[in-house]
Amino acid sequence: MSGFGLSNIYGVIGLGRFGTALAETLAENGQEVIVLDNNESKISQIQDKVLQAFVVPKLDKISLQEAGIQNCGTVIVCIGEQVEASILTTLNVIELDVPRVIAKAMSTEHGRVLEKIGAEVVYPERDRAVRLANALTRPRALDYLDLSREYSISEFRLSEKMSGKTILEVDLRKKYGLNIIAIVRGEETIVEIQPDLKLKTDDLIVVIGRKENVLRFEKNVIS
């Protein structure tokens, strides 16, 4: 989500299945993406889909700087299977002062180390299970993403309850502690949310906040 950080550019390091799917989806969603991998074949397959793609044999700080990782607002380190490389690369990205660093972990122990050095952590297998459980038990939430133990991103389709009201009038930040990070209206995605923007029935609204606040909003407004 481009609302994070000072830059809208995403960096994806590691083009396994997870990293490739992530980079391609970000690009398909209109985001600028820089990808890095040590495999020339993988880079050649994705280079026409992203802003820049680099073959980087060694993920040290100098190589990351040369690729422009420090210019990204969000960097996702997707090399979880190689624990040492994952930790060192994540540390190098953090030391380049990237505003938001997310790293893939393959175990709880791996994730704890990544968290201690300052990264947000995703567990692909666990997250898929969480998404399935939420899809089964929270049908009003069209999509749901765990960011941490406390925070999540959810997408809802608006009913007539909020139609015609402006962002200022609904004031989700004050009433529910939530921030709207995008509104999808037909083929248009609105990310610059102005206070006088009027909501419409069937708008898809993407919010971020504490999980208990998302659930409270879902219960009181969406249901």
In tens, the pLDDT along 4-62 reads: 334 689 999 999 888 998 999 888 878 899 999 999 999 999 999 999 999 999 999 99
- Of 70 and 216, the structure prediction assigns the larger pLDDT to 70
Query: What is the pLDDT at residue 218?
Result: 81
Cβ atoms < 10 Å from Cβ of 186: 9
Query: What is the pLDDT at residue 46?
Result: 96
The region of weakest confidence among 2-16, 75-89, 173-187 is 2-16
Do 118 and 102 contact (CB within 8 A), yes or no?
no
Query: What is the pLDDT at residue 109?
Result: 92
Q: Which of 35-39, 107-111, 145-149, 172-176 is modeled with the greatest confidence?
A: 35-39
Question: 64 pLDDT exceeds 50?
Answer: yes
Cα separations (Å) of 210 from 2, 68, 190? 19, 32, 22
Do 38 and 55 contact (CB within 8 A), yes or no?
yes
Nearest to 178 by CA among 145, 139, 212: 212
Question: What does the alpha-carbon distance between residue 88 and residue 84 come to, in Å, rounded to a whole number?
Answer: 6
Taking the model in full, what pTM does it have?
A: 0.60
Average pLDDT of the residues of the chain = 84
The sheet that has 52-55: what strands, in order across it? 52-55, 33-37, 10-13, 74-77, 100-104, 120-122
Domains along the chain with CATH numbers: 10-122 (3.40.50.720), 127-222 (3.30.70.1450)
- Of 101 and 29, the structure prediction assigns the larger pLDDT to 101
Report residue 130's pLDDT band, with 50, 70 and 90 as the boundaries: low
Query: What is the pLDDT at residue 148?
Result: 66
Percent of the chain residues topping a pLDDT of 90:
45
Query: What is the pLDDT at residue 5?
Result: 38
Question: 139 pLDDT exceeds 50?
Answer: no
Q: Residue written as tokens 């690369």?
A: 89
Report residue 163's pLDDT band, with 50, 70 and 90 as the boundaries: confident
Question: 162 pLDDT exceeds 90?
Answer: no
Query: What is the pLDDT at residue 99?
Result: 94
Query: What is the pLDDT at residue 48?
Result: 95
The region of weakest confidence among 85-94, 140-149, 160-169, 188-197 is 140-149
Report residue 126's pLDDT band, with 50, 70 and 90 as the boundaries: low
